[in-house]
Structure 1
C-alpha cells in the first residue's frame, strides 16, 4: 500500500532543539523553528488521568521540580510543575506541554513531527494509542507525521487504527534485529529508526535498498557520523542540528 508522501529533511531536532531549551517543551520546538529546523522528534505519554503529554521519562524528577512517577500526576497537578528551571533560569516557569498545546504550536509553525509512543514500564500501550492517534490525525496531515515506537503492541494497534496510506509508522530499534524486515512488513512501516553507533554498513544498505527511509538517532558528533551518510541514511535526529554543515532540509 502506498504511504503518505513525506519529504523528510536531513536534520530533525531531538525533543525539539534540546541543546538550547528544555527537552520536549514548547520552548524547544519554538527554538527549533527559529533555527530553521522544520521537523522535530517528540515523546508522548499519558498522565494518571489519561491526559496525553509530551514527556520522555517514567518519572518527573529529571526534568522538573517535582518527584514521583508520571502516572501519579493528573493534569491539574502536572500544571504546577516547573519544567524549565532545571535547564536554565531563563526557562523558569516552563510548564509540561499537553498534546493539544504542542499540536497547536506545530500547526501554527507549519512543522512536522516524529512522535514516539513512549511506553515505559508498567504503562498500557493500547490506552496510549487510543488516546493519542485520533487527536493526531484530526490535526496533522499525513505528510507531516511519523509515529514511531520501540513497543510492537503500540505499533500494531496504531496500524489497526489507520492504514499505511493514512499513517506513516516508524520501526524504532536500538540495534537492528535479524528480523527487521519481517517486523517492518508486518506493520507496513514507512521508515526505520536506529541508534547510530550500533548501525552496521550492510544493515544500512539493506534498509535503504528495501526502500525504507533510514533515520539515525541521536547524532551529536557530525564528524564521527559523516561516513554514514554514504550508507544510505536519509535523516538524523540531533540535539543540535545546527552543528551539521549540510542543508537542514
Structure 2
C-alpha cells in the first residue's frame, strides 16, 4: 500500500529513467522506482523506531505492516565481514555490548540484547518481547521481506567499515534487489557513494548532507563534509554536481530548532533533478510544513503519523 500526496515534481525529474506517461506501462521495475521518487515517499527511519527498538525485526515488521515506502537501515560490517543493521559505531547505546561494533564477530554480536534498552528508556512502550532482540544481518532482513519491501540503506562510517561497499553491492546483486527497483543507497560520504556507483551504476544513490552554522560565523551555514556549499550559497552547478551520480539529496531541516533549508532550496534541488528527502521529522506540524513545501520524502521514527497526514 503506497501513500502519496499530490505534490509532483516538474516532469523530467530523473530524465535518465526515460519514462514518459505513455511508456510507463513498459517501464522496468528500476525505472518505476525512479518514477516513484517523483512523488512522496514515507521512509521508516530504522523501522518504526518510535514504537520498537530501532533496526530490530519488531520495528521493521511494524513499519512494513503500515505500508511504508522504504525501510531505512544503517549498514555496518562485523570483524568477520558480515553486514549488519546497526546505527552507532559503538554498541553501548542500543545494546548491552561494549566497544566498536566493527571489532566484534557476528557470533559475538548475535549474543547481545539489542532490545531491553528500549524498554528501559520508554517504559510506556515497553514490551517483554523486545527484550533480547538480536542485531540483524542484512540477509535476515532480505530473507524476511524480500521483494515485498523497498530498502533505504546507508553505508555507515565507511572509514571504520573498509570494504563495506563491495560487500553491500555483492549482497544486493545476490538477492536481485537492484534491477527489481528495491533499494536506495545513502551516505554522507561522497567517496563511498562513488565507489558504489563504480561497482554498479544502476543503484540509485542519495547524497546525505548536514547543514549547520559555521563556528566562525553563525550567520553562515556550512555543510558537514563540504560536499555542497551552505544553502544560502548553493548554485545550480552545485546541485548538478550531486545529480551526476545521485538521484536525491537527504538533508536535515533544522539545526538546534532553527530551519537550515527553505522552500526555495527544495525547489532548486528538484529543478536540478534531485529528489529531496528530509531527516528525521517526528513532529506532525513539521511534517505538514515540509509536505506543503513539496519535499519528496521524510525520514521519520513515527511513520504512522506521517501516513495519517499523507493518506
TM-score, normalised relative to structure 2: 0.73
Contact 2:95 2:116 in 1 (8 A): yes
The 2-side partners of 1:17 and 1:201 are apart by: 27
| CA deviation vs aligned residue, 1:124-177 (integer Å, no higher than 9, x gap) | 45x1101111111332144121001001111110010111xx210001111263
* Residue 246 in structure 1 maps to residue 309 in structure 2: yes
**8 Å contact 2:243–2:274 — kept in the other structure?**
no
Structure 2 unaligned residues grouped into runs of 5+: 1-14, 18-29, 120-127, 212-222, 255-259
CA distance in 2, matches of 1:65, 1:123: 21
Q: What does residue 224 of structure 1 align with?
A: 286
Counterpart-to-counterpart distance in 2, 1:233 and 1:182:
18
Q: Partner of 1:18 in structure 2?
A: 49
Summarize deviations over 1:184-218 as a string: whole Å, max 9, x none. 144x2111111122222221110111122111110
Matched with 1:2 is 16
**2:51 alignment partner, SS class:** coil
Q: For the Cα contact (< 8 Å) 2:47–2:63, is it kept in 1?
A: yes
Check 1:189–1:25 CA distance in 2 against 1; reply closer, same or farther (3 A cut).
same
Question: Counterpart of 2:252?
Answer: 195
Count of matched residue pairs:
242
Contact 2:42–2:68 (CA under 8 A) maintained in structure 1: yes
Q: Which residue of 1 aligns with 2:110?
A: 79
Q: Distance in 1 between matches of 2:300 and 2:281?
A: 5
Computing the radius of gyration from Cα coordinates, the structure with the larger value is: 2
Report the CA distance between 1:226 and its aligned residue: 2.1
1:158 aligned onto 2:220: no
- 1:97 and 1:21 map into 2 onto residues whose CA distance is 14
Contact preservation (8 Å) 1:32, 1:38: no
Give the C-alpha shift of residue 182 in structure 1: 4.5
Q: Determine if contact 1:113/1:146 at 8 Å carries over to the other structure.
A: yes
Tell me which residue corresponds to 1:94: 133
Work out the CA distance in 2 between the residues paired with 1:246 and 1:119: 33
Structure 1 residue 123: Cα displacement: 1.0
Point out the more displaced range, 176-185 or 42-51.
176-185
Do the aligned partners of 2:282 and 2:302 also contact (CA within 8 Å) in 1? yes
- Where does 1:100-115 land on structure 2 (aligned, <5 Å)? 100-107=139-146, 110-115=148-153
Is 2:226 aligned against 1:169? no
Q: 1:235 to 1:185 in 2, by over 3 A?
A: closer
- CA positional deviation for 1:35: 2.1
Partner Cα separation in structure 1 for residue 161 and residue 240 of structure 2: 24
Q: Distance in 1 between matches of 2:44 and 2:139?
A: 20
* Structure 1 residue corresponding to 2:160, chosen from 123, 138, 142: 123
